[in-house]
Structure formats: structure tokens, C-alpha cells
């Protein structure tokens, strides 16, 4: 969940964004540079997106309730999507204005003043962007990561514009201003599309393969013989919290109390050994006779056949919606054993 320090950091970024926007518009008024105006217009997006990100962090920090049983973390994906959309719109406006200025033969003034002011703003954006990205990655916040990526893109594009202004200063070729403005517009448009893509993936519950792989690897490293099988493994992300549901095959003769204890141990393992908060919803499957071929429980009193292999748990093996080691069910049940079919889920 969002911490107070995250919210405080985002609030500082918003206030700094307002200051940077004022500096950039002042630099534009002094120079009449389309590249600087492009940067200033993009700062409006920074401020608006920063305010929405701040609201998203505050809302995401609220605990789950009856109307929102999975919490409020999804707002972070919406916030990132809005920010990405605003960036794309700003990029289109910047490109259009730069093209028109190029055709009209726009002239830049007081280049030295523009370089000093824009460099100062770009340096502050670089510091804030790095801070937000580092915090976003450590706290698993897509909102803060998106804001950091946005500000870093602004910083690198500011560097490109400074090079453009320097080239105008030394060569006298005014069209460099519009050229760099167009390049900046294209750059932030691509960045905005990437942010929107990631936000949509989160809203559509696209599996985070890296996060899923980390959990499965943890289970593989600490697996117990009585955890016969894991399958139908699915991961959904709600803000910073992972929600995982899967099927775990246990010996069919375990009591309900024993089975519940095994599942509780899996949940504790993932949350104590993992690097993020995870909610698990585990369906318990009883083993069937054909499960013996993959079961490593040595003292099993109900074993029907010897273990033939141990299937390693990885994404390829656990994502499927079928028990490993089971045989296709025929008219007489699994493997022709009607009693085993009644225990299969």
C-alpha cells in the first residue's frame, strides 16, 4: 500500500513541477523558442498528471472495504493510463506547432538566457525523475514509476533541446529549433504510448511474468514432498499487491485440518520469503492414483506405483489448468479406476 512518505514525495514533485513550468514559460517568453515552448507545454502535462498521481496514491492507501474487497490499488493503473494519454496529446500538439513554426520561418532570441533557464529546469527534473523511479520500483508503485519515467524523459529531452539551442547559437541556422522540437514531440509521444500500454495491461489483468516467476521459483526452492503438484497458477495485480490463485495437490487422505495447515505454510512462505505483499487463494486438490508417478512422499501408505519423475515447478509447468501425472479420464474414470475419478477435481 502507499506509504505517507510516497505521498509526501509526490506532493513535493507536484510543487516543484509548478515552479519548473513557470521557469520554462519565462524562458520561452525571453527566447521565443519553439523547442522551449514545447518543453513548457509538456510541463503543464507534468503538473496535471502529477496531481492525478498524488490523488491516486492517496486513494490507493485506503484499506479494502465492503465495496472494494481487493483494495483500491487499481487506481494506480488508471492514473498511469491518464498520464500516458496526456503525454501523447502533448506530443502531438508539440509536433504540430513545431511544423507550423518551421514553415513560417520562426526566429529565436536571447539564446543564452534560454539555455541557462532550461538547463536549470532539466537538472531538477533529472533529480526528481530518478527519485520517483527508485521509489516506485522499491515500493512496486506503477504510478510513481510512470511519473519518474515521465520526468526523466523530460530531462533527457531538455538536454536535446539545449544541444539544439547551442547549434543555433554557433551556426545561426534557426530551423534547428523546430527540428529539435519535433524530435522531442516524437520522443515523449512514444514514452506516453509505452506508459498507456503498461497501464492497460494492468487493468486487463495481464500476468506479470516476472512477478509470477519469482513466486513459483520460491515454491520450487522450498517445496515439500506432500505438496504433490501445483497447477492452474494465475496472477492478478491490484496496485502493489499480487493476488494469486492456484491449485495445490495434496495426499487425498490428509484431514481437513492437516490440509489447511499445509496451505497456510505455503502462504506464510510466499509472504515471509518474498519481496512483496501477496494474497493467495489456493484450491486444494486430492491426489489420484496416477499422481503417484510424480509424488516424492516416501512414506505414503496409499502409494499405488513408484515415483517416475519430479516435475520442476516453473511458469511453463504451473500455468496449465490440469494436474500433472494424471491420465485422460475415460468412461470408467481416471485410468479406468472409478474410485479415483470421484476424488479428482
Taking the domains of the chain in order of start, what are their residue ranges? 4-203, 209-343
What pLDDT shows up at residue 341?
34
Of 147-156, 308-317, 335-344, which has the strongest mean pLDDT? 308-317
Whole-angstrom distance, CA of residue 91 vs CA of residue 38: 8
Stated pTM of the model: 0.59
User: Of 63-77, 96-110, 265-279, which has the strongest mean pLDDT?
Assistant: 265-279
Please compute the mean of the pLDDT values over residues 20-30 and round it to a whole number: 82
Which residue, 8, 79, 6, 94, is CA-closest to 44?
Answer: 94
Q: Are 259 and 284 in contact (CB under 8 A)?
A: yes
Query: Any idea which fold 4-203 has?
Result: Alpha-lytic protease prodomain-like (1.20.1510)
Q: Hey, what's the cell of 217?
A: 521459483
Q: State residue 229's pLDDT score.
A: 92
Burial class (CB in 10 A: 0-12, 13-18, 19+), 328: exposed
At 329, the pLDDT band (50, 70, 90 cuts) reads: very low
Give the chain's mean pLDDT.
Answer: 78
pLDDT at 114: 65
At residue 262, does pLDDT exceed 90?
yes
Highest-confidence range of 70-79, 113-122, 294-303, by mean pLDDT? 294-303
pLDDT at 68 > cutoff 80: no
- Degrees to nearest 5, angle at CA 196 with 191 and 202: 130
Tell me the C-alpha distance between 345 and 329, whole Å. 12
pLDDT at residue 331 is higher than 50: no
Under CATH, which architecture does the 209-343 domain have?
A: 2-Layer Sandwich (3.30)
Residue 10: pLDDT band (50, 70, 90) is confident
Mean pLDDT of 216-242: 86
Q: What percent of the chain has pLDDT over 70?
A: 82
Amino acid at each position: 500500500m502507499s506509504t505517507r512518505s510516497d505521498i509526501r514525495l509526490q506532493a513535493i514533485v507536484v510543487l516543484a513541477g509548478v515552479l519548473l513550468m513557470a521557469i520554462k514559460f519565462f524562458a520561452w517568453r525571453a527566447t521565443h523558442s519553439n523547442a522551449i515552448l514545447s518543453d513548457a507545454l509538456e510541463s503543464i502535462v507534468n503538473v496535471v498528471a502529477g496531481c492525478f498521481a498524488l490523488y491516486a496514491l492517496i486513494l490507493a492507501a485506503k484499506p479494502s472495504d465492503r465495496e472494494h474487497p481487493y483494495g483500491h490499488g487499481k487506481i494506480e493503473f488508471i492514473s498511469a493510463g491518464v498520464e500516458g494519454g496526456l503525454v501523447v496529446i502533448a506530443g502531438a500538439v508539440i509536433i504540430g506547432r513545431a511544423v507550423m513554426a518551421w514553415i513560417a520561418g520562426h526566429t529565436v532570441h536571447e539564446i543564452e538566457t534560454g539555455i541557462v533557464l532550461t538547463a536549470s529546469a532539466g537538472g531538477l527534473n533529472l533529480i526528481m525523475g530518478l527519485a520517483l523511479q527508485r521509489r516506485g520500483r522499491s515500493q512496486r508503485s506503477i504510478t510513481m514509476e510512470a511519473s519518474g519515467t515521465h520526468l526523466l524523459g523530460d530531462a533527457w529531452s531538455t538536454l536535446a533541446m539545449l544541444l539544439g539551442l547551442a547549434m543555433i547559437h554557433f551556426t545561426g541556422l534557426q530551423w534547428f529549433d523546430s527540428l529539435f522540437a519535433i524530435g522531442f514531440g516524437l520522443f515523449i509521444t512514444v514514452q506516453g504510448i509505452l506508459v498507456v500500454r503498461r497501464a492497460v495491461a494492468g487493468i486487463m489483468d495481464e500476468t506479470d511474468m516476472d512477478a509470477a516467476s519469482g513466486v513459483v521459483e520460491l515454491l520450487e526452492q522450498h517445496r515439500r514432498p506432500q505438496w504433490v503438484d501445483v497447477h492452474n497458477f494465475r496472477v492478478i495485480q491490484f496496485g502493489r499487491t499480487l493476488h494469486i490463485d492456484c491449485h495445490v495437490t495434496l495426499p487425498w487422505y490428509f484431514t481437513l485440518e492437516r490440509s489447511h495447515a499445509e496451505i497456510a505454510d505455503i502462504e506464510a512462505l510466499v509472504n515471509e520469503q518474498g519481496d512483496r505483499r501477496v494474497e493467495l487463494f489456493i484450491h486444494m486438490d486430492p491426489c489420484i492414483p496416477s499422481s503417484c508417478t510424480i509424488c516424492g512422499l516416501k512414506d505414503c501408505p496409499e502409494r499405488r506405483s513408484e515415483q517416475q519423475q519430479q516435475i520442476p515447478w516453473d511458469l511453463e509447468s504451473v500455468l496449465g489448468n490440469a494436474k500433472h501425472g494424471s491420465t485422460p479420464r475415460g468412461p470408467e474414470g481416471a485410468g479406468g479406476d472409478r474410485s479415483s475419478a470421484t476424488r479428482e477435481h
